[in-house]
Copies of this chain bind each other. A is one copy, B any other.
């Protein structure tokens, strides 16, 4: 066969639901010289990565590491380690990722009970209290930041309810970690997974996870073997822990990238980073509202890093996204599931979350909407965002 041409990726601005823009230092780290996966140097990288992950997860959990797969592998890791066939698990479904978790739990042999909210809404404490009383589950799984809808689920009160019922709380923080507070110890979350390609701004490929001592005890009490060998934390923890027992070969260079991405988070400071995400979200919102775009999610539960807005009637979803990509190199996301064709998902995650990108997107979107025949007051979006930045 003919050898394909060398790589020459276009330079995008990644304002979709992830991956987000990657800092040049992280890209450089990915290309650092590969060492062996049991090299003393790589063991140091693993140790430092674990420490930094604990800092970002706000936890002292010993079992905190990066699973050698993407966020969905992290979801599967949390589920298959906690669930034995026949265990009762409640999964809260208000978007694609809650639905995915129910699917994963069923495959792991759980007796799954789902409770639902329409896409874009979140669960009330009362609804959680009712279901844990009724089902008495071993585990309740819930999504902190629904990437498919942009809805922000409060977890603190729910965690008390779940623990009062003697259950474990499993939380998806793929999109929230590093962008809004995730207090693993403060909220007593038991099994938590995330992704690298959202607010941590590392390319996709690894999934940070953390397990509370309660979760570890539940894993140690299992009778059945964990369904997945690759994701079996009783084996993986001996590789990341003191023993350094060979399990699989960790993705060395991906871990270099995560190490550098976490260093950037620490340098900025977690609180400063969270405040940055909020500020740019509010500026974007002011601008979007000024050009007539409304959020798909109610005030108060809007995720700062994932802005889901309703596509105005008469405007074609795909045409606009193609124009943004072709003319400006900007990627935004379309809707998923029942939101397909009805919403755009505008990401302001990690490196992407900047005043520069907020202004550029508003300017570019004004152009696309106008080309679609929508009535947009020229310059209104940029003006509103600038006014916000000037005040904030």
User: Are B48 and A35 neighbours in the complex by a CB distance under 8 Å?
Assistant: no
CA distance A55 to B227 in the complex (A): 33
Tell which of B3, B19, B40, B267 touches A263, judged by Cβ atoms closer than 8 Å: B3
Most-contacted residue by chain B among A9, A29, A230 (CB, 10 A): A230
User: Are A205 and B259 neighbours in the complex by a CB distance under 8 Å?
Assistant: no
Q: Distance in Å from the Cβ of A369 to the closest Cβ of chain B?
A: 21
Query: What 9 additional pairs, Cβ within 8 angstroms, besides A10-B39, A14-B34, A228-B228?
Result: A22-B34, A27-B30, A27-B31, A30-B31, A76-B229, A103-B229, A203-B253, A253-B254, A254-B254
User: Are A252 and B103 neighbours in the complex by a CB distance under 8 Å?
Assistant: no
User: Are B7 and A252 neighbours in the complex by a CB distance under 8 Å?
Assistant: no
CA distance A246 to B204 in the complex (A): 14
Residues of B within 8 A of A11 (CB): 33
Tell which of B16, B68, B225, B266 touches A205, judged by Cβ atoms closer than 8 Å: B68
Binding site for B on A (CB under 8 A): 1, 3-4, 6-7, 9-12, 14, 16, 18-19, 21-22, 27-37, 39-42, 45, 48, 51-52, 55, 68-73, 76, 100, 103-104, 106-108, 195, 197, 203-205, 225-230, 246-254, 256-257, 259-260, 263, 266-267, 325, 331, 336
Q: Distance in Å from the Cβ of A210 to the closest Cβ of chain B?
A: 15
CA distance A18 to B249 in the complex (A): 8
The secondary structure that dominates the A interface is loop
User: Are B76 and A228 neighbours in the complex by a CB distance under 8 Å?
Assistant: yes
Give the nearest-CB partner of A333 in chain B: B36
Top 9 closest pairs, chain A to chain B, by CB:
A205-B251, A31-B31, A27-B31, A4-B48, A72-B248, A203-B253, A30-B30, A3-B266, A204-B249
Residues of B within 8 A of A72 (CB): 229-230, 247-249
CA distance A55 to B2 in the complex (A): 10
User: Are B104 and A229 neighbours in the complex by a CB distance under 8 Å?
Assistant: yes
Residues of B within 8 A of A55 (CB): 1
Residues of B within 8 A of A27 (CB): 30-34, 253
Asked, given contacts A31-B28, A249-B195, whether A228 binds B68 with beta carbons under 8 Å apart, the answer is no
